[in-house]
Amino acid sequence: MHSPQFTAEPSSNDTAERDFLGLPASGADRAPLRFDVIIAGCGPTGAMLAAELRLHDVRVLVLEKETEPVSFARIVGLHIRSLELMAMRGLLDRILERGRRRPVGGIFAAIPKPAPEGLDSAHAYLLGIPQPVIDQLLEEHAIELGAQVRRGCAVAGFEQDDEGVTVELSNGNQLRSRYLVGCDGARSTVRKLLGVGFPGEPSRTDTLMGEMEVGVPQEEIAAKVTEISETHKRFWLRPAGVGVYSVVVPAAGVSDRAEPPTLEDFKQQLRTIAGTDFGVHSPRWLSRFGDATRLAERYRVGRVLLAGDAAHIHPPAGGQGLNLGVQDAVNLGWKLAAQIHGWAPETLLDTYQAERHPVAEDVLDNTRAQMELSSTEPGPQAVRRLLTELMDFDEVNRYLIEKITAIGIRYDFGAGPDLLGRRLRDIDLKQGHLYDQLHRGRGLLLDRTERLTVGGWSDRVDYLAPTATSPGSATISRTSTTTSPAGSARPDPRDLAGPRLMRGSTSGSAGRCRSTGPVSCRWRYRR
């Protein structure tokens, strides 16, 4: 894996410890500005953001309230766009080793349709991986890149001023940084303290989920599950190890999420729905989740930002939450770094909300739709049958898959060629894979004309004259391979890589994002 050299701040152990623990709030002095960014929460979003910021030499501290990583072995699905991002950061091989590839079809509302042919990606599969594994890999990645992660430290409060943010820990101590990002999950303290509205719908249905042993033969379970899942979409028992099953069953009602369910709750619900409790016993873990759907009104207030579940929550239909958070982190990382290093235009940081808020809005809507389609009521069941028929049309199936896997996203950069604002798939070039050029998270100027130069921007933009045929004469790819416009003539480098790149990121994008149908990529590739 690529490991860049970073300028580490010389600090004695004492100083390092003080950095972490902060200064007592009662002290007359304000805590020194030792960090550029403090991130609240070391879930997948916080860890990914920390790593992205480190790629740009930003001093990052991640504060995580839990002393140990969560051990819940819930399997999550990593979708195509996230797998592509992992490839761009040199993480994909590590992640593939620990997960299981599955076909990408049958994801939308669990309607069993195969994936459309020829999805435009080198990674057109779904990766099933336990969430603790992905959490751990991303945390390790952030630490390898130089992020400091402090567990057992909860963010309890903060105050912002013109120069920075004073963050108060639950022990009463204070730390200061230039920016604070709340990646602290659905019940985000940062969001609440910011006073940002979180409109949407409360949970209407809860689902119990856990792992436990069963007391009946496998065949008996399989037969019953096949029968019940005809009508109940939130019901399954799947083998999860020797003698252990992963059990999902609708809960009796909506309850306090902080209260974990009991084994008796599972037994009762299994008996109600399946007529038997399958002799379940010896639970490994028990949990519940709801279908609350909410979106933060703003992703940024001054020097404080929100990302991941702190900014949006929705039911797990289609397995999109973690993917969305990791993608938020990649979108935000380089912009916040640019702001900190002083080369971002005024509006750059606000393009984070302009680009990502509409994407979350779209995910919330598709999960609302999927939840309706999982209802056992006759109306939604009829709509489900109709959609099942419609998905036999390739365009419909493709549209839905591209939406869930996030490869259909197009940020609105105004009028331009088809690829403008879209991501570029990985392709083979004479120089290797395109995505391998992006491990350092820098911009990339792809220049088929071989006449351009990044000139004065060589500290942040790489140059590549690809041998494949490009859709335009030149393209600036941002750090996550979203295409932005460049020019065909030889421009002044600052004009090209700076204002043009930024103009591409900001113009006309406020509040708009289109998830559009397939576009044929005019690159020639060999896979």
Ligand X SMILES: Cc1cc2nc3c(=O)[nH]c(=O)nc-3n(C[C@H](O)[C@H](O)[C@H](O)COP(=O)(O)OP(=O)(O)OC[C@H]3O[C@@H](n4cnc5c(N)ncnc54)[C@H](O)[C@@H]3O)c2cc1C
Query: By the criterion CB under 6 A, which residues form the site for ligand X?
Result: 40-46, 63-66, 74, 76-77, 131, 154-155, 183-185, 189, 209, 289, 308-309, 316, 319-323, 325
Query: Exposure of 199 by Cβ count < 10 A (0-12 exposed, 13-18 middle, 19+ buried)?
Result: exposed
Decide whether 322 or 369 has the Cβ nearer to ligand X.
322
In the complex, least distance from residue 190 CB atom to ligand X, rounded to whole angstroms:
7
Residue 281 DSSP SS3: strand
Cβ atoms of 402 and 515 closer than 8 Å:
yes
DSSP 8-state class, residue 236: E
Report in angstroms how near the CB of residue 491 gets to ligand X at its nearest: 39
Pick between residue 65 and residue 224 the one whose CB is nearest to ligand X: 65
For 11, 37, 252, 284, the CA distances from 5, given in Å and listed in that order, are 17, 19, 54, 42
Question: Beta-carbon neighbour count of residue 512 at 10 Å?
Answer: 15
Shortest spacing between CB 478 and ligand X, in angstroms: 22
d(CA 393, CA 406): 20
Cβ of residue 484: shortest distance to ligand X, in angstroms?
Answer: 27
Specify the residue, 42 or 88, whose C-beta has the smaller distance to ligand X: 42
- 324 within 8 A of 359, measured Cβ to Cβ: yes
409, 136 contact by CB (below 8 A): no
Q: Which is nearer to ligand X, 42 or 61 (CB)?
A: 42
Least distance to ligand X, CB of residue 169, Å: 8
Judge contact between 283 and 246, C-beta under 8 A: no
Q: Of the two residues 319 and 455, which places its CB atom closer to ligand X in the complex?
A: 319
Least gap, CB of 52 to ligand X (angstroms):
13
The residue among 323 and 353 lying less far from ligand X, judged by its C-beta, is 323
Identity of residue 368:
R
Closer CB to ligand X, 189 or 374, in the complex = 189
Question: Based on CB atoms, which residue is closest to ligand X, 326 or 502?
Answer: 326
- Measured over the CA atoms of residue 194, residue 15, residue 48 and residue 443, the dihedral's sign is positive
Nearest residue (CB) to ligand X, 39 versus 452: 39
Helix, strand or coil, per DSSP, at residue 157: strand
H-assigned helices in 156-197: 189-194
Name the residue among 415, 419, 416, 417 with its Cα closest to residue 407: 419
Beta carbon nearer to ligand X, 184 or 412: 184
DSSP codes joined into one string, 73-138 = --EEEE-HHHHHHHHHTT-HHHHHHHSEEE-S-S-GGG---PPPTT-SSTT-SEEEEEHHHHHHHH
Q: Least separation, in Å, of the C-beta of 508 and ligand X?
A: 28
Nearest distance in Å: CB 234, ligand X: 10
Identity of the residue, 13 or 67, whose beta carbon is nearer to ligand X in the bound complex: 67
Looking at 115-230, which runs of residues are DSSP E strands?
A: 126-130, 148-151, 155-160, 165-169, 173-182, 200-201, 207-213
Dist CA 127 CA 79 (whole Å):
7
Least distance between ligand X and beta carbon 459 (Å)? 31
* CA-based nearest residue to 436, from 124, 194, 88: 88
Shortest Å, Cβ 414 to ligand X: 30
Of 42 and 359, which has the nearer Cβ to ligand X?
A: 42
C-alpha pair distances (Å), 91 with each of 20, 84, 325, 326: 28, 10, 17, 13
Least Cα distance to 352 among 318, 301, 293 occurs for 301
3-state secondary structure 435-496: HHHHCCCCEEEEECCCCCCCHHHCCCEEEECCCCCCCCCEEEECCCCEEEECCCCCCCHHHH
Query: Of the two residues 174 and 509, which places its CB atom closer to ligand X in the complex?
Result: 174
Q: How far is the CB of 345 from ligand X (least distance, A)?
A: 28
Alpha-carbon gap, residue 56 to 76, rounded angstroms: 29
CA atoms within 13 A on the CB side of 146: 18
Contact predicate 526/485, CB 8 Å: no
User: At closest approach, how far in Å is the CB of 346 from ligand X?
Assistant: 28
Phi, psi of 29 (to 5 degrees): -80, 145
Q: Minimum distance from CB of 403 to ligand X (Å)?
A: 14
